[in-house]
Each structure stands twice: as structure tokens, then as C-alpha cells.
Structure 1
Amino acid sequence: MMALTGKQKRFLRARANRLQPEFHIGKNGLNASFLSQLDDNLARHELVKINLLQNADLAPKEVATALREQLPGVQIPQIIGRVLLLYRPASKEKYRRLSLKVKAL
């Protein structure tokens, strides 16, 4: 898997502008059920926003590192404050709307 180019990151950030954070990380941190739900969501939507709540014990950079380790192929084009943007191309053809556009850039 290759790193995203600046142009691809800009495209993803523009797309994410309209997204609301779908996942929230609180005091429970990154537990197994959270990770599996996130994995399923990424498989279908390719682009997901995560919000770190104030009571989360982890810093945004720590969360980014943990997610990269635990979810293969995940890339993080943007971190603003306590909001992380995650991207991973879908493995199933029918969900690859976004990744086809990203690849074309």
C-alpha cells in the first residue's frame, strides 16, 4: 500500500468536510468491539471521521498510531484538534466509489 499524495489527501479532506464524526473514542479507548465496528464501516464507506471525547485518555497522535497498527491498510490524511480522518480503500468492488477517484488523482 502506498502513501497518499498531497493531491489525494486534499481530495479526501474536501470529501470529509461534509462528514460528521461517526465514531467517538471516550474513556473506554480502543476496545475490540469499537475496532471491529470501525473496520466494518471503513470496508463500506472508505472514509470515516472519528472524534476523541474530552474524557479519552489517549492523545490524537497515539490513537492514529494505534489505529494504523490494528487496522491494516488504514491511512490518516488529517488530524484537526481531536478529530481524525481515516481512509482505507474498500476490498469489495461494489464499495469502491471513493478509492477509484483517489487512485485516478
Structure 2
Amino acid sequence: MKYLAAYLLLNAAGSTPNSDNVKAVLESVGIEVEDDQVSKLLSSLEGKDVAELITEGNEKLAAVPAAGPATGGAAAAAGSSEAAAEEEAEEEKEESDDDMGFGLFD
């Protein structure tokens, strides 16, 4: 992923990504570069348009089902409200000990 990110940064900057440029970007942020990974990336992207690849990727992501607010979000909200209610009940229980003027370990 880091190799692809360096490639895309170079492409966005208007530079032609090549082995030396990708290595320079990665090394500038302290990443140890593996030459075979750089070669594999460049060979797999050779002759391809980055904008077209991004469009294809977005189309594939659009087909992936995702939980929306009606399913996962509502369950998470219900769970968090239950947890908040339990915390309040525990706090009230602790406060009731304070109201008696002494604690369990006094």
C-alpha cells in the first residue's frame, strides 16, 4: 500500500513515477524500500491510466454491501445508550454510599 501511495503522490504532483522517484519518496519518510515491491508495482501499472484505475476501483467499491444507519448504526446507538444507562446506575449506587456518611472500607 505504501508503494502505491508513493506512486499516486508522484502522479498527482505531475511527475512521472519511476523506480528512483518511488524509492526517494518512501525513503524521505523513513520507509525501508524493497526493490522487488517497487518493480512489481511499476510493472503492474505500466501503460495504465491512473484516473481510469481509480474510476474502476470506485465502481467496485460501490458494489460492496455496507451496513447503513438502519442496520448497524441503530444497533450501535442502542448499545451505547444501554451502556450509558448502566454507567449512570453504577454512579448512583456509588453516590448512595457517600450519602450514608461512611464507606465500606472506612
Coarse TM-score class (shorter-chain normalised): under 0.3
Specify which structure has the bigger relative contact order, considering alpha-carbon pairs within 8 angstroms and separated by 6 or more residues.
1
The TM-score, its normalising length taken from structure 1, stands at: 0.24
Larger Rg, first or second structure (1 or 2): 2
- Give the structure with the higher percent strand: 1
